[in-house]
Amino acid sequence: MFRMTSVSTRRADRITANVEERQRQRYEIHTAYHFAEVNGQPAVRTARAVDGGGDVAQLAFGPTATLALINVGLSRRKDKAELGYLLDLDKGRWMPRPEEKETDDEPASTRHKRVIPFVEDRRNILIVDPGTAGGGPTKLSPEADQAESGAATSGALSEVALMASLEAVLKASIESEFDLEDRELDVESLPSREKRTSILLYEAAEGGAGVLRQLVDDPTALARVARAGLARCHFDPDTLEDLHRAPGATEDCTAACYDCLLSYTNQPDHRILDRFLVRDYLSRLVAASVETSPGAESRSEHIERLSRQAGSDLEREWLNQVAGAGYRLPDKAQVFVEGAGSRPDFVYSGAHTAIYVDGPHHEYPHRAARDADAEDRLFSIGWSVIRFGLHDDWLKLLAENGGVFGNATP
Ligand SMILES: [Zn+2]
């Protein structure tokens, strides 16, 4: 592996036939990512898009993740097992491939080494996985189902075509929904273009516009993107009726056109892109809402862990109400807060807020005095305290503290 640290481009007024041929053939690029680490934990925010039928998609957002693009060779090289390129160590240049040699007057260098070049950078990334958590890939559309019941190869092709079409429509619809330029968002297939199971979207500029984070944090953002996607694919978003073409277009779009799925950057996929493949899946996304969990675990895993850690049935009851109404979940249960000498029932670490769910014994005077002391100590280190008493209206308290609990997502 050879990391290219100083890659730049320069304008060429003329290109040789060999260069043109290389562009046409394209390179086989593999994409790898690594989440940033904060306090030894991967910095990733996971979420699920769910509708009445269960999971529609799993999302993972990684701020400033490390992204590597690895060039393993020309797509159409004869020997697929041969990876990388020969580097001339004397001249510090790539060695021409045998069929590319233009002149014979330069003797081939004897000092050379085969390397796999890659570039690496930090980007905000979003991984969209349309499969389900357990049990095999989701049947995304009836068309995919039919194809899979046929020959194995046509099933695999259909899955690739479906994912390619989904990549195209998600990229274009996120850009249109969030007013981005065409080149502000990039998309790659994971684990590779040949075998696509998930979609990697990343912001082209370092820092980025923060759009990908919204798709995880805003429960309705992905549904809006899917709606825009249906309209883009010439379907009525409400009735799914085929409108055949974009407004103002002169010809019907049978599978894909430049108004819907085709773009300059996805040329290698043009042959397989088909708007009908994504119609049913997009319509499921339109009806789905996105549930976020604070860490790498899924929301249901997170609820399970908190429920195990909770100190009483009353606390579990509180947790059920928060989860059931779709509010933001606490990060931890029964954790000792250093500096305050107190162990709140739940904490929202990011909001520096401690939650107490008070059973009947908290109404005794000596207990109430101890609670007040703990509150004072938490205040003194900059924390807030919210108490849920036995006789309080919990849902009202949750709704009144949107800064901590977010908004209910029924
Ligand atoms: Zn079209």
Q: How far is the CA of 246 from the centre of ligand 1 (A)?
A: 7
Burial class (CB in 10 A: 0-12, 13-18, 19+), 149: exposed
224 found inside a domain: yes
Residue 204 has φ and ψ, to the nearest 5°, of: -65, -35
CB 144 within 8 A of CB 131: no
The rounded distance, in Å, linking the Cα atoms of 226 and 281 is: 9
Peptide bond into 191 cis (omega under 30): yes
Q: How far is the CA of 271 from the centre of ligand 1 (A)?
A: 13
Say yes or no: 87 and 186 in one domain. Answer: yes
Q: How far is the CA of 64 from the centre of ligand 1 (A)?
A: 34
Say yes or no: 27 and 146 in one domain. Answer: yes
Q: How far is the CA of 273 from the centre of ligand 1 (A)?
A: 10
Say yes or no: 72 and 157 in one domain. Answer: yes
61 found inside a domain: yes
Q: How far is the CA of 260 from the centre of ligand 1 (A)?
A: 4
DSSP 36-63: -EETTEE--EEEEEEETTEEEEEEEEEE
Q: How far is the CA of 164 from the centre of ligand 1 (A)?
A: 15
Q: How far is the CA of 69 from the centre of ligand 1 (A)?
A: 30
Q: How far is the CA of 406 from the centre of ligand 1 (A)?
A: 39
Q: How far is the CA of 179 from the centre of ligand 1 (A)?
A: 20
Residue 345's domain spans which residues?
A: 297-405
CB 215 within 8 A of CB 203: no
Half-sphere exposure of 179 (CA within 13 A, CB side): 0
Query: What does DSSP assign to residue 339?
Result: T
CB 410 within 8 A of CB 327: no
CATH of the domain at 339: 3.40.960
* Number of domains the chain is built from: 2
Amino acid at 262: L
Distance of CA 223 to the CA centre of its chain: 15
CB 212 within 8 A of CB 141: no
Phi-psi region of 357 (alpha: psi -120 to 50; beta: other; left: phi over 0): beta
Q: How far is the CA of 258 from the centre of ligand 1 (A)?
A: 6
Residue matched to tokens 């996105």: 290
Q: How far is the CA of 320 from the centre of ligand 1 (A)?
A: 46
One digit per residue, the tens of pLDDT, for the chain of length 410 reads 989 887 777 888 887 877 776 666 678 888 899 888 776 567 888 898 998 888 899 999 999 899 998 999 988 888 888 999 999 888 888 887 766 665 555 666 678 899 999 999 899 999 999 973 333 344 444 444 443 333 334 556 678 999 999 999 999 999 999 998 878 899 998 888 888 889 999 998 766 668 999 999 899 999 999 999 999 999 999 999 999 999 999 999 999 999 999 998 898 899 999 999 999 999 999 999 998 875 556 778 888 889 988 889 999 999 999 999 888 889 888 888 877 888 899 998 777 899 999 888 777 777 888 888 889 999 888 889 999 998 899 999 999 998 888 888 76
Say yes or no: 65 and 213 in one domain. Answer: yes
Query: What does DSSP assign to residue 134?
Result: S
Q: How far is the CA of 262 from the centre of ligand 1 (A)?
A: 8
Say yes or no: 161 and 252 in one domain. Answer: yes
